[in-house]
Structure 1
Amino acid sequence: MIFRRAIVSEISNNAGAVFSVLFFIVFTQVLVHLLGDASNGKVDPKDLVSIVALETLTNIPLILVLTVFIAVLIALSRAFRDSEMVVWFAAGQSLFTWVRPVLRFTLPVAAVIAMLAFFVSPWAERLIAEARTRFQHRDDVSKVTPGQFIESAGSNRVFFVENLDPEGGRVQSVFAAQRRGDRESVIVASSGVMETHADGARFLVLRNGRRYEGDAGVPKYRVLEFDRYAIRLDAQPEAPLTNAQTRTIPTRLLLTDFTPRNQGELLSRIALPVVGVVLALLAIPLAYVNPRVGRSANLIAATLLALIYLNSVQIMQAWVDRERMRFWIAVWLAHGVAASLAAILFVRRVYSPRMLWSALRRGSGGE
């Protein structure tokens, strides 16, 4: 029918604009956050571009959920506001007629959300965790960014180099501060080079520098000048990434190892496509604009309900993690309540309270 094609076309156009805005916002937040991590030595600057792309990819399922909800809400709110709905209602259409075109748009998007949530996001999370772990297991000097102070993994050293040649392992204008108990030492050198011994131990060999050594709170320091000084670099041993982070675990492993934490993660993955469909259906009755209340009242109510719904899903996940609720109850409870609310709103919008009361009275009188 004409109105179905029209509503699907309008929702699709709105979805494109909404997705672009939400994607830009999320991408900017991820970029700013990871730039801060890179400047603090938590992320390898060389991996920054790939991690930004992967982090953004993990957020796309939620972006699509919000996109569907907002696109449907905007399209139908405009139809109510411009009295277009009045025309369709006068032509014999009811609010229930809009369910089919909305689902026609929503279900393919929900399938994409499910694919991303079940397969793509865990893969991306695992690559991110591997990159972060690989960088954290490097030795202290390998993490140094020229011109920035970097704290060692043991939090007992601070390094600063002005120039760094990663390929040759050479550094220039080196500053290193170390504290062991009350004993403090500061080392400055004009240059240095990283060396690996036969036993695998790595050293930073400094040349032409000074070492200042003393006790904390005591104004006396001993100054030593050196031509060559070696600092052993404490690198954490390389270890394979474990599945401690449940977001990195493939979905098939969540199903085979049904621990409470894995159940909570599986619950969140199942919830995303379901939330997308339920929110799209909720948006249909919530799009009703009452001119007496104001044009933005329905948008405020819809936003609050969506936030409550999304937060309740997260609460269910936390309860399953802590074994306060069974998985088989949590998997449908929040969605069942939201779907029931959508059904109530549909009935309330289609049938006035007087019509419902008359129907109930006729039904009771017939008995």
Structure 2
Amino acid sequence: MIFHQALRRELSYTTGGVFLVLVTIMVTTLVIRILGFAANGAVNPEDAVVLIALATLGYLAVLLTVSLFVATLIVLVRWYKDSEMIVWFASGLSITNLIRPVLQFATPLIIIIALLALFIWPWANRESTLISQRFQQRDDVSMVSAGQFKESAKAERVFFIEELDIDKGEVKNIFVADSKNGKLSVAVSSTGYIQNSEGGEKSIVLKKGRRYEGEPTQPDFRILEFEEYSTKIRSKETLAPAPRDREKTIHELMNEPNPAFINPSRAELLWRIGLPLMALGLVLIAIPLAYVNPRLGNYTAMLYAVLIYLIYSNLLNLTQNFVSQGKISVFVGIWPIHVLAFLIAFALIRNRINPSLKWWRRQLPSVFSSK
């Protein structure tokens, strides 16, 4: 049908445009945020692009949900404003005939939203955490470069090595500055070597050098000469912490062995399942919400849309918190919000079918409302 094809075509173009705008805003925000982390030493600047891409992938489900809702509103509002809906209704069609073509367009996107929320979201979060932890737990020798000052992972030590031979484990002209408990210690030596110990520990051993402790102007300042001085540059390997709820797979959430984490895992599962259901509910609400009087031509519906989305998403997050705290069961919390959204969509559609009747009579079957 011509109307159906035109509707799906406009929905495709508008959804794509809204999605690109939202992605641009998201990427811009992430660039500022992650570059700030890189400047503070929390993440590796070389990993910034990867972290931005992973964060964007993680939020694609939310962006698609908003894009689908806003695009449906924009297209239908324009159709009302340009009197195209009058042609639709004059052809013997009603607002209920819009549901099928809109859902035909929205269903593939809702499936994509479900896949993104169930699988891509935890994977992207887990990869981002691993990259950040790998940088924070890195050993100091991995940062040492010949002829450059390098700061340790915890900002407690500064290295300078003029010459470095990693294969032979030899270093020359070493400068090491330590700052612990408010005391400064500087060690210098012309030669040294890298020492590997049992358990994965690694140290730099300075040979025949000097060590300066304290401030030169203070009475406790000391100059010590040593034959060998060892400074640890890597402790035993640190195991990666257990994944957070947002990083767990569906299988891990459903088979959580620790009783203390069962409710948070179920709450995370509720949010992931609720996202595609929210997308469906918002699309159904957008169909009657888009009504605009062609003579007025205002966009009040967009204001209502923002309020509805904020209320819907906040209620979903609130329910997730209640389930996480054990106040309600996941089986109780998963359906009321979405059922309420579907009922609101049904009431609004019935309201638009016959606006001449009082609102409460529009919700009755036609047999009763005609009397």
Question: TM-score, normalized by length of structure 1?
Answer: 0.84
Name the % identity.
Answer: 35
Is residue 289 from structure 1 mapped to residue 292 from structure 2 by the alignment?
Answer: yes
Contact 1:41–1:144, Cα closer than 8 Å, also in 2 = no
Q: 1:73 to 1:95 in 2, by over 3 A?
A: same
Residues matched between the structures, number:
361
- Residues 83/238 of structure 1: CA separation in 2 closer, same or farther (3 Å cut): same
Match of 1:52 in 2: 52
Amino acid in structure 1 at the alignment position of 2:271: S
Q: 1:319 to 1:151 in 2, by over 3 A?
A: farther
- 1:97-118 CA distances to partner (integer Å, 9 max, x unpaired)? 1111110111101111111221
Structure 2 equivalent of residue 263 of structure 1: 266
Return 5+ residue gaps in structure 2 as ranges. Answer: none
Q: Secondary structure at the match of 2:214?
A: strand
Matching residue of 2:315: 312
What root-mean-square deviation, in Å, do the aligned CA atoms of Structure 1 and Structure 2 show? 3.6
Match of 2:179 in 1: 178
- The 1-side partners of 2:351 and 2:173 are apart by 74
What is the TM-score with the length of structure 2 in the denominator? Answer: 0.83
Residues 186 and 2 of structure 1, relative CA distance in 2, 3 Å threshold: same
Summarize the alignment of residues 4-83 of structure 1 with structure 2, pairs less than 5 Å apart.
Answer: 4-83=4-83
Change (3 A) 1:365 1:102: closer
* Structure 1 spans left out of the alignment, 5+ residues: none
Residue of 273, 278, 300 corresponding to 1:275: 278
Q: Does residue 336 of structure 1 match 2:339?
A: yes
- Matches of 1:204 and 1:81, distance apart in 2: 74
Amino acid at match of 1:279: L
- CA 1:364 to 1:9, structure 2 compared with 1: closer, same or farther past 3 Å? closer
Q: Please report how far the alpha carbon of residue 299 of structure 1 lies from its aligned counterpart in structure 2 after TM superposition.
A: 0.6
User: How far apart, CA to CA, are the structure 1 residues paired with 2:191 and 2:38?
Assistant: 24
Report the CA distance shift for 1:190/1:28 in structure 2 as closer, same or farther (over 3 A).
farther
Closer, same or farther: CA 30–106 of 1 in aligned 2, 3 Å: same
| SS of match in other structure, 1:231 | strand
- Farther-moved stretch of structure 1 (184-193 vs 125-134): 184-193
Partner SS state of residue 233, structure 1? strand
- Structural mapping, 1:102-251, within 5 Å: 102-140=102-140, 142=142, 150=151, 152-153=153-154, 157-159=156-158, 176-180=177-181, 184-187=183-186, 195-199=194-198, 200-205=200-205, 211-214=211-214, 221-224=221-224, 229-235=229-235, 237-243=237-243, 245-251=244-250
Give, in whole Å, the separation in 2 of the partners of 1:162 and 1:108. 58
Contact 1:190 / 1:208 at 8 angstroms: preserved in 2? yes
Give the Cα separation in 2 of the matches to 1:231 and 1:284: 68
Residue 84 of structure 1, CA deviation: 1.1
> 2:165 and 2:325 mapped to 1: Cα distance?
46
Distance 2:332 2:185 in 1: 60
